[in-house]
Amino acid sequence: MFSLCIINLFTKQVATISGVTFTLVFFAIFTISERTTRECASAQAELDQFNLEPGDDLTPEALAVRPGCVLVPVRNYNTLYNLRAVLDRVNTHKQDVVVLHLRFLQRAGGGEYELSPEQLFSLEEQKLFTRALEVSEKKGKTLHLAIAAATERWEAIIRAAQSLHASAVVLGASPTSPVAEEARLAGLAWERLSDPKPQLTLSIYFTTGEEHVFYLGPHAPHLTAK
C-alpha cells in the first residue's frame, strides 16, 4: 500500500501548499495560481528551494484540487504536447489539472525500495516543472504539480488517479510502446485497484495532435470543455 510525503515549493511570492503524507511514494505538490504562474519565469533561479514535510494520504483536499480533476503524467520537458492539449480544452476555474512526474525507486539491499530525501528533486525535474509553468502561463491557466516515486508506471498513475478522484488521465504517446499496449497495461492496472474503482477516460496524444481515447469503467467521463 502506498504512503505519501510532500515537498513544498518556496519562492518569494508563492505561497506553500499543505502537505500529504506517506512512506513509500513521495508526492511533491504545488498549487500555482495564475498570478504566481506569471511570476514564475523571474523566479526560475529559486526553483531549487524545496523542503520535505510529512502529511496525510493523497487526497483532493490535501492537494487542494477538486474531485474530477485531469491527471497529466509528464516525463520530458521537451514533450509537453499532452499538457498543452489539456490546457487548450480545460477551464481550470471549473476543473483542476494535476501534472505528475514519476520517479522510479531502486531496490535496496534488503529487497525493499527506498529514495533518499536528497534524491527527491533533480535538476531535470526542475526544468520539467519550469517548462510546465511556462506553458500554463502562456495559456493563463492554473496547475497543480506532483512528483511521485513509484515501482511500476501504470500502477502509480492509475492509483494516483483513484486517490485524487480524477476523471481523466492524459498522456503523451510512448516512443517505444504501441498505443494499444499502453491501453492494455492501463486497463490491467485499473483492474487491480480496490473497490470502488473510478470511472476514467484515458487519452493518449501524439505530437501531430492525434488523440486516442480509451474508457476505464462502465460510464466514462469527459474533459470539461474550455
Segment 36-61 mean pLDDT: 47
- Give me the pLDDT at residue 198, please: 94
User: Hey, what long-range contacts does 11-15 have (CB within 8 A, 24 or more apart)?
Assistant: 11/36, 11/39, 11/40, 11/43, 11/46, 11/47, 11/49, 12/43, 12/46, 13/39, 13/43, 14/39, 14/40, 14/43
Q: Is the pLDDT of residue 40 over 60?
A: no
The DSSP H or E segment spanning 143 is strand 143-150
107 falls in which pLDDT band (50, 70, 90)? low
CATH number at residue 69: 3.40.50.620
Q: Which residue has the cell 531549487?
A: 48
Q: Is residue 33 part of a domain?
A: yes
Tally of structural domains, the chain? 1
- Give me the pLDDT at residue 106, please: 63
pTM of the model: 0.72
pLDDT tens-digit map of 59-77 = 788 778 999 999 999 999 9
Cα separation, 107 vs 124, whole angstroms? 22
Q: Is residue 226 part of a domain?
A: no
Q: Is residue 30 part of a domain?
A: yes
pLDDT tens-digit map of 196-225 = 999 999 999 999 999 999 999 865 455 554
Q: Is residue 111 part of a domain?
A: yes
Q: Is residue 225 part of a domain?
A: no
For residue 204, what are the domain limits? 4-216
Q: Is residue 221 part of a domain?
A: no
